[in-house]
Every structure is written in structure tokens, then in C-alpha cells.
Structure 1
Amino acid sequence: MRFSYLEHVEREILPTIEILWEISRTFHGDSDAYVGEYYQLIRELAEHHRGQTEHEKLTAICRAFYRELGFSEAPESHLSAKRILLDRVISYRTGLPIAMAVLLQEALAYAGLQAELVDFPGYPLLRCDDDQRSYFIDPCNGRLLENEQVRERFSELTDDGHDFAWELLVGAEQKTILVRYLTDLKHAFIQDRAFANALTTVHMLLTLLPNDPYEIRDRGYVLEELDCPQAAVDDYQYFVEQCPDDPSAQLLRLQLETWAAPQPILH
């Protein structure tokens, strides 16, 4: 499988949002209708708040995104692809934080505000800078977080050995965002037992992370679920060779030995 829109991510030629629209189109033929609807909404939102100061605009767009447009955090405790793929998040008006962050980022951009995704522990935050300070936005609800709230959240979600520093809260590279997004999508398709779509997503990840042993291991699992045992064996064998000390390699080694053992003939 070839995904040309993922092949030049290192150079960040395409905007991240355009790549995510393409990912949605891969799985849904009706994506463009939802994309068009969304841009109509955020154009009207930007027009309504024209002439405000940057801070007024920031708070107004964040509030309107959740109250007027009706977006909210996904209610389920388990992953589902319809809460990650942007076209379905627009349709259902609810999604996981990374999807909400990207959509809110685009709404802010249409209002003339530049926001960056920060690869924060737990889930990404949005960062919007002006001349005097930085604002951090929680994509689950649009709240602007105070500096102390950001610091406390970091401490809660990281090990004791990680020291907080504001230098960590820089905008993430496009590749980092896409790997995080596609990893969530892969796990969601597996949860949904949509293994053919999960396989497509693994191939997307391997476009970004060629020969990554963990993605190849996951491809093996998906292939096994799709009744392609020989292809799964090849992927599992590669992982075991590349990551012999990984705990999952021990289990896979036993599984490979079981598969290789001659099966008794029943008469």
C-alpha cells in the first residue's frame, strides 16, 4: 500500500489537517461532505468574531466551538474509530482529544489565530502565543489552563524522574502528531474488530516508521486475525529477532514454536 500524502512528512510539505482529511477519505467515501460542512461552520464563526482583540477572539472561539458548534469529549471509555476520524467526529460532534485539538486548531486558524499542538502527557494540548504570554487550551472542553494547572497536570501524568520545564511545551513536529493520531486509530480499529481497516492503518504507520519492529509485530497480530498465518509468522519472527528482550517477544517465541511443531494426524 502506498500513501503519497505520508511520504514527505519529515519536510512538512502538506498541512497536518490536509493529511488527516486524506486519512478520513481512505476509509469513508462521503468524507468531503462533512469537511465542507465544517469549513462553512468555522468560516461563519470567524466572521462573527472579526474585529475583536486576539485574546477576546481566542476565548470566544474556544467557547463557541463547544457551546455553539456542540463539540464534546467522547463519552465512551473504550476507543472507537468514529471518535478519531475527523469526518466522523464532525458528524457526531464528539471525539478523542487529539481529534478535537486538530479541529479546534483549524477553527482558530480561520479566525487568524495560530495555535500549535503540544505533545503533552495524557493527551495533546493547544498552545497559542501572543506578545506577552502563552495560553494552553484543553481540547476536551476549550478551557484556558493557568500555568500552575499545566505544571500540576504534567506532574500527575509523568514519573517522578521527569522534571517539568516550560521548554518541553513546544509545538510538536508533524510526524509526532501523525504517529500519535494513527496509533490511536489503529488501536480503535482493533477494538472495533475492523481488522482490514487496522491493517491499512498499520501500513500508514509503516510509511512514517519504516521497518519499525513494534508496528510489524502489530501487523502480524492483525494478519493473524485476518487468517493470514504465514504472513503473521514472518512479522512475528522479525519482531522476535529485532527485540529479543521485549516481554512480548517471549510469548511470541512460544507461539512460533507451537505453530512450527508437527500437528497430530487424526483418523
Structure 2
Amino acid sequence: MLESNISERWHSDEPLDLMTLALDVVESLEGPAARDEAERELFALERALAEELEDMIAPLHLLPCLYDGLGFAGDSDTFFSVDNCLMNRVLARREGIPVSLGILLIHLCRRFGVDAEGINFPGHFLVRMWSEEEGAVIDPFTGRQLPRHEVELLLRGARGNLARLTPEHLKGTSDTEVLVRLLNVTKAAYINQQQFGQALACSELLLRLKPDCPFERRDRGFLYEQLDCGKLAADDFEFFIEHRPDDPIADVLKAQIAGLDLSPKTLH
């Protein structure tokens, strides 16, 4: 019932805000109690921020209130951790990574009447906050406004020294695409912790958003393989091969299928 309710919400005609989507992920992966706790933490944060912003005179004043006054920060020590991805844990710990802190920042901006949008920047999620006519590019990991040369450094760190910043890199993205990025990072964190069942749950959520994406089906196949579900893995690999026959990995997957145990297995 839980999964069907989330699926119905995600495919309804009613627009869902970004925080609702992130909390749906929490509910799906950790249960309704975790979502309830996250909502309580979020409500308390909004009240505290409202007090901090009582005399706010400019949109960018939200940043020092959130990062300095209320203690939110990027977690550099355990960056690649599920704790930094799931919103209930981010709110409880007041630490996260760029995409999770970015979702929180966008939510709070909108809550307090500041226009904001996500930027799916290579290697490092960014946020644009609008102050009068100009948009300021914010690093949600640090809460700092970034000048152009620092954005260029981020791009070179992700794409190499020959990369050149273009307007396309700083194009705003939809809330759904931000959710896709969060789910991909969360899935990778679970894989890093060898929690393949939870990674598979992330993959299933991604396929609710992009059911016909051959790359998502391929990735789910690898997770099924890790869970010794050879027949399910083969089905996903065959889907990829059928839809991307010229992709170099198609031949690799054919060899993978040949080595799979295709007897039925039950996932628990």
C-alpha cells in the first residue's frame, strides 16, 4: 500500500514540491515513522529560521541564518554516506551533501518567499537564488555565493582542465530531475555500503520516474545480479540490449547473461 500511494502521488496531475518528493523517498526506504520524524524536524527548523529572519532585508540573508545561525553544513568527513542523502537523517544531523542540502535550501527559500531553483551542475549540485533581477549561484555544501571563477573551478574538477563553462551548465532543472539526482546518489551510497537491497529499492523508485529508461533497467539488472536473482537480472540486461544494441556494454551484458543462474529466486 505504501509503494502504491507514493506511485499514485508521483504520477498524479497535482504538482508536488521538492521536499514532498524527498520525504516520499524517506518513507519508501525507511518507513512512515522516519517521514513523521523528518516532518517534525522540518517544522521546528522552519520556526527557528522564521525567528532568525525576523528582520531580514534581503533574500541572501537566509544563508547565514541557516548555515551559521542554525549550524547546517556539508559533511566532508563521511561524504559518501546514506546519512548525507536521506532527508530525515540530514535534518537530524544538520549535515549533508550538495544535493540533499540543496533540496533543503530550495524548500526553505520557497517557504520564505525567495525564488530558487536547482542546477544539475556536473559533479556538484548548485542552487540559484533570485535577488531582485539577478540570480546568485549558491554552493549548498557551504552556503556561499560562488563567483564565476569558482564555478569554473568546479567544472574543471568534474570534467578536466579543458572544460569551459557555458550557459547550459548553469541552466535550471526541474524538481523531478533533482529527485532523480538524489536517488542516484542515494543508490550509489547504498552500493558503497554493500546494502544492495536498499540500492534496489532506489532503483525501483527511479524506474517509477523513468520506466522505459534502458540505463536504469541495466543498473537494476546489476543489483539483481548482486542479489543472486539471475532471471530478473537477465530480463533487465535483455531490455538494455534490445533498446541499445550499439552500446559497447551490450556485448558485455550478453556474456553476463550467459553466466547467470536463471532458476527462479525470491526476494525477501
TM-score (norm 2): 0.84
Instruction: Map 1:80-229 onto structure 2 (within 5 A).
Output: 80-158=81-159, 163-166=164-167, 168-229=169-230
Q: Could you tell me which runs of 5 or more consecutive residues in structure 1 were left unpaired when the two chains were aligned.
A: 262-267
SS across alignment from 1:30: helix
SS across alignment from 2:194: coil
Please say if residues 109 and 116 of structure 2, whose CA atoms lie closer than 8 Å, have aligned partners that are also in contact: yes
Give me the identity figure in percent.
30
Shift of 1:122: 1.5
The reply to whether residue 20 of structure 1 matches residue 58 of structure 2 is: no
Superimposed CA distance per residue, residues 98-132 of structure 1 (whole angstroms, 9 cap, x where no aligned partner): 00111122223333322111121222211112234
Per the alignment, residue 265 of structure 1 pairs with: none
Please say if residues 231 and 261 of structure 2, whose CA atoms lie closer than 8 Å, have aligned partners that are also in contact: no
CA distance in 2, matches of 1:191, 1:152: 27
Per the alignment, residue 47 of structure 1 pairs with: 51
Deviates further, 132-141 or 252-261: 252-261
Per the alignment, residue 66 of structure 2 pairs with: 65
The residue type paired with residue 47 of structure 1 is E
Q: Specify which structure has the bigger relative contact order, considering alpha-carbon pairs within 8 angstroms and separated by 6 or more residues.
A: 1
Shift of 1:154: 3.5
**Residues 108, 96 of structure 1: CA spacing in aligned structure 2 closer, same or farther, 3 A cutoff?**
same
Shift of 1:142: 0.4
Please say if residues 71 and 94 of structure 1, whose CA atoms lie closer than 8 Å, have aligned partners that are also in contact: yes
Superimposed CA distance per residue, residues 122-180 of structure 1 (whole angstroms, 9 cap, x where no aligned partner): 22211112234221111111011123433443355346786533465232112221211
Shift of 1:260: 7.9
Per the alignment, residue 264 of structure 1 pairs with: none
Shift of 1:47: 2.9
The residue type paired with residue 174 of structure 2 is E
CA distance in 1, matches of 2:81, 2:235: 29
Aligned residues: 256
Please say if residues 137 and 145 of structure 2, whose CA atoms lie closer than 8 Å, have aligned partners that are also in contact: yes
**Residues 227, 65 of structure 1: CA spacing in aligned structure 2 closer, same or farther, 3 A cutoff?**
same
**Residues 166, 233 of structure 1: CA spacing in aligned structure 2 closer, same or farther, 3 A cutoff?**
closer
CA distance in 1, matches of 2:66, 2:53: 12
**Residues 155, 231 of structure 1: CA spacing in aligned structure 2 closer, same or farther, 3 A cutoff?**
closer
Shift of 1:79: 2.6
Please say if residues 54 and 113 of structure 1, whose CA atoms lie closer than 8 Å, have aligned partners that are also in contact: no
Per the alignment, residue 31 of structure 1 pairs with: 35
SS across alignment from 1:23: helix
Deviates further, 174-183 or 93-102: 174-183
The residue type paired with residue 84 of structure 1 is C
Superimposed CA distance per residue, residues 14-69 of structure 1 (whole angstroms, 9 cap, x where no aligned partner): 111111111111122322123212221222212332233224xx23x212322332
CA distance in 2, matches of 1:247, 1:77: 34
The residue type paired with residue 115 of structure 1 is A
Deviates further, 84-93 or 123-132: 123-132
Q: CA RMSD in A?
A: 2.5
The residue type paired with residue 184 of structure 2 is T
Deviates further, 61-70 or 75-84: 75-84
Larger radius of gyration: 1
Residue from 7, 10, 13 that aligns with 2:11: 7
Please say if residues 47 and 111 of structure 1, whose CA atoms lie closer than 8 Å, have aligned partners that are also in contact: no
**Residues 105, 184 of structure 1: CA spacing in aligned structure 2 closer, same or farther, 3 A cutoff?**
same
SS across alignment from 1:227: coil
